[in-house]
Structure 1
Amino acid sequence: MLGQQPVRPDRQLRALARRVLPPLRREAGVRTMKTFVRQSLLVLAAALLAAAHIGCASTARAVPDYSGYESAESVAYDSAAPSIASENTSRSAPRAPQARPQARGAASPAPPPLAAGAAQTSGGASTSPSAEEQARPTRLLVYTASLHMAIFEVNPTQEAALNIVEDLGGYASRRTTNQLTLRVPAEYFRQALDALSKLGDVTHTQWQAHDVSESFRDLNIRLQNALEVHARMSAILERAQSVEDTLKVEAQLARLTQEIEQLRSQIENLSQQIAFSTIDVHFQQRHHTQLPADDYLLPFPWLNELGLESLLRAPEATR
């Protein structure tokens, strides 16, 4: 024992460290690595969240929200309208307001006011008599009148009657010694009849209106049908292959042409009757009553003694 050297404490510590520290270092290294990985994942997740948040914020800044802009602008404009109107009214020479584009979602313009003659019910519903009248078929009337009058002078009275009719845009279609056939525009029929009645003593008058609406429509329908058949026959004539077929089609075309001309003449005549009313004026000459030139015969002889005969002759002496 005396020959053994004493062991130094530092060496003992180093030996102990060699046996203990490596396992501890390995265990600490594993723990340190796990902690490092966990912390790295946390940092990476935080970075991703921050990047996503920054991207959303930039997108929101790039596309601003205009959801309330239109309504706010419309309200602001409407609230400013009365002041602008009052300012324009106060000026003596107002300026024309500048055109402003209508925003999306703005209210549509108000409907125009009701036309004159439209009736409005208590509930707000309105009915237009003019629309109902337009829906009804128009009646086509032909007015005729006959007037008999007693006059003293025929020729001057006839001239006066012609002047009345010509002033109203009419004319005389027939004239005889004691009769006139006058044509006046239909709208002046009553006015002409009243004016003519003042030319003499009317002994008889009569006027009437004939409804020719159905006849007028029937003539127009027949004319339209005849024109369509004429057009088809003309097309057939162009495709005719033989002389016989050509002659037959030409005969039909000639008949249709004559029928079309007759229908047109009837329509024209009826249109003239509708446009111009007819007034027949019959004049009966009235003769002047002449007093007898003989002496006045008094019923009682004693009246002659009173001088009545001389009084009756007094007007003749003053002529």
Structure 2
Amino acid sequence: MKKILYFLFIMPVAIACNKSTEGDIAADSYDIEMMESVPEKIYAAGAAKDVRFASNPQQIERKVIKTANLNIQVANLDSAKTNIDRIVREYNAYVSADNRDNNNYRFTLNMTIRVQQDQMEKMVQKIEEQASYVHYNNINAQDVTEEFVDLNIRLKNKKAVEEQYVKLLQRANKVEDILKIENELRVIREEIEAKEGRLKYLESQVTMSTIHLTAYQDVYHVERAPAKSFLLKIGDGLSGGWDLLKNIVVGLAYIWPIWIVGGLLTFMAVKRIRRYRMKRTKVV
């Protein structure tokens, strides 16, 4: 009778323990399954938010990148450069690139200037005042609102995925599961850093507009030959005399018909004169 009572007492306890163990195993399995389904659930929720966000376009702040390309001719490049540097300081801008190229015919200045977007057009007008002639002034506007919104939503979703992976990592017990979660965390964090970097770049381009400036000055330069020494002048004289002699000989060769006709006339004249003298001698 005592054995039966002991058995009846032990069985419920054993069954309860068994259920508890199965529950822990099921919880671990559920965590791993959740880890695999986390991205899909988070991205699905993000997509729904994206649809709601797009349905209210008036709430979207436009993100526009402005770029100006300016090519001008100036009377004096040094003076123009001094004035342009003053204009840069006046508008709290900065020069990100400054290159100069000089040759015998043109002095050229290439500058890249970054300025607050709302000040760009005023600054361009100020720079144009330094020009004697404006070849072109092009201002381009690139709307990156769609990319900006998309990056923000994707970044928010990835951070939510990262948070879920961190929670799963805190609950994981197996080494295999811990390694798997840490690898997923590494990948998602690299993606987050890439998107944050892209967002910072876009924000910088939107906030600060870019002016690509080319200014040049035409130079009318006449090269002078260096002075020659006395010996060089004598050498040039001898060379010039020899060239003159050759030209005379060539010129005489060109008039050979005149030499022949002249020779014949001279021969005939000499012959007649001799005959005439011989006749006079006989008469005397």
TM-score (norm 1): 0.47
Match of 2:216, SS state, is strand
**What is the deviation of 1:160?**
1.9
Equivalent residues in 2 for 1:127-206, closer than 5 Å: 135=58, 137-177=60-100, 178-200=109-131, 201-206=133-138
**What is the deviation of 1:276?**
0.8
Residue 255 of structure 1 aligns to which amino acid in structure 2?
V
8 Å contact from structure 1 (residues 140, 212) kept in 2: yes
Residue 243 of structure 1 aligns to which amino acid in structure 2?
V
Of the three residues 214, 217, 221, the one matched with 1:285 is 217
Distance in 1 between residues matched to 2:77 and 2:115, nearest whole Å: 21
Match of 2:130, SS state, is coil
Q: What do the CA deviations read for 1:287-310 (whole angstroms, capped 9, x no partner)?
A: 1478xxxxxxxxxxxxxxxxxxxx
8 Å contact from structure 1 (residues 162, 171) kept in 2: no
Distance in 2 between residues matched to 1:175 and 1:223, nearest whole Å: 36
Distance in 1 between residues matched to 2:188 and 2:147, nearest whole Å: 20
Q: Which of the pair has the greater relative contact order for Cα pairs under 8 Å at 6+ separation?
A: 2
Task: State the match for 1:245 in structure 2.
Answer: 177
Segment of structure 1 superposing worse, 210-219 or 152-161: 152-161
Of the three residues 127, 143, 148, the one matched with 1:216 is 148
Measured on the aligned residues, the alpha-carbon RMSD in Å equals 2.1
Residue 220 of structure 1 aligns to which amino acid in structure 2?
N
Task: State the match for 1:274 in structure 2.
Answer: 206
**What is the deviation of 1:192?**
0.5
> Which protein has the bigger helix share?
2
Q: What do the CA deviations read for 1:17-73 (whole angstroms, capped 9, x no partner)?
A: xxxxxxxxxxxxxxxxxxxxxxxxxxxxxxxxxxxxxxxxxxxxxxxxxxxxxxxxx
Match of 2:155, SS state, is helix
Q: Which runs of 5+ in 1 are unaligned?
A: 1-133, 291-319
Residue 227 of structure 1 aligns to which amino acid in structure 2?
K
Equivalent residues in 2 for 1:100-139, closer than 5 Å: 135=58, 137-139=60-62
Residues 155, 261 of structure 1: CA spacing in aligned structure 2 closer, same or farther, 3 A cutoff?
A: farther
Of the three residues 194, 201, 205, the one matched with 1:262 is 194
Distance in 1 between residues matched to 2:194 and 2:85, nearest whole Å: 32
Distance in 1 between residues matched to 2:58 and 2:217, nearest whole Å: 51
8 Å contact from structure 1 (residues 143, 207) kept in 2: yes
8 Å contact from structure 1 (residues 158, 180) kept in 2: no
Residue 174 of structure 2 aligns to which amino acid in structure 1?
S
8 Å contact from structure 1 (residues 143, 277) kept in 2: yes
Residue 237 of structure 1 aligns to which amino acid in structure 2?
L
Residues 246, 156 of structure 1: CA spacing in aligned structure 2 closer, same or farther, 3 A cutoff?
A: farther
Segment of structure 1 superposing worse, 137-146 or 223-232: 137-146
Match of 1:208, SS state, is strand
Residue 116 of structure 2 aligns to which amino acid in structure 1?
P
**What is the deviation of 1:136?**
5.5
Match of 2:92, SS state, is coil
**What is the deviation of 1:211?**
0.8
Equivalent residues in 2 for 1:21-170, closer than 5 Å: 135=58, 137-170=60-93
Distance in 2 between residues matched to 1:150 and 1:289, nearest whole Å: 17
Residues 247, 155 of structure 1: CA spacing in aligned structure 2 closer, same or farther, 3 A cutoff?
A: farther
Q: What do the CA deviations read for 1:254-288 (whole angstroms, capped 9, x no partner)?
A: 11111111111111111111111100001222114
Q: What do the CA deviations read for 1:150-181 (whole angstroms, capped 9, x no partner)?
A: 22433432332222122112111111112100
Residue 184 of structure 1 aligns to which amino acid in structure 2?
V
Q: Which runs of 5+ in 2 are unaligned?
A: 1-56, 101-108, 223-284
8 Å contact from structure 1 (residues 164, 196) kept in 2: yes
Distance in 2 between residues matched to 1:203 and 1:209, nearest whole Å: 20
Distance in 2 between residues matched to 1:261 and 1:277, nearest whole Å: 25
Residue 252 of structure 1 aligns to which amino acid in structure 2?
E
Q: How many residues align?
A: 158
Percent identity among equivalent residues? 28
Distance in 1 between residues matched to 2:59 and 2:156, nearest whole Å: 23
TM-score (norm 2): 0.52
The structure that has the greater radius of gyration is: 1
Distance in 1 between residues matched to 2:71 and 2:206, nearest whole Å: 24
Of the three residues 164, 175, 189, the one matched with 1:232 is 164
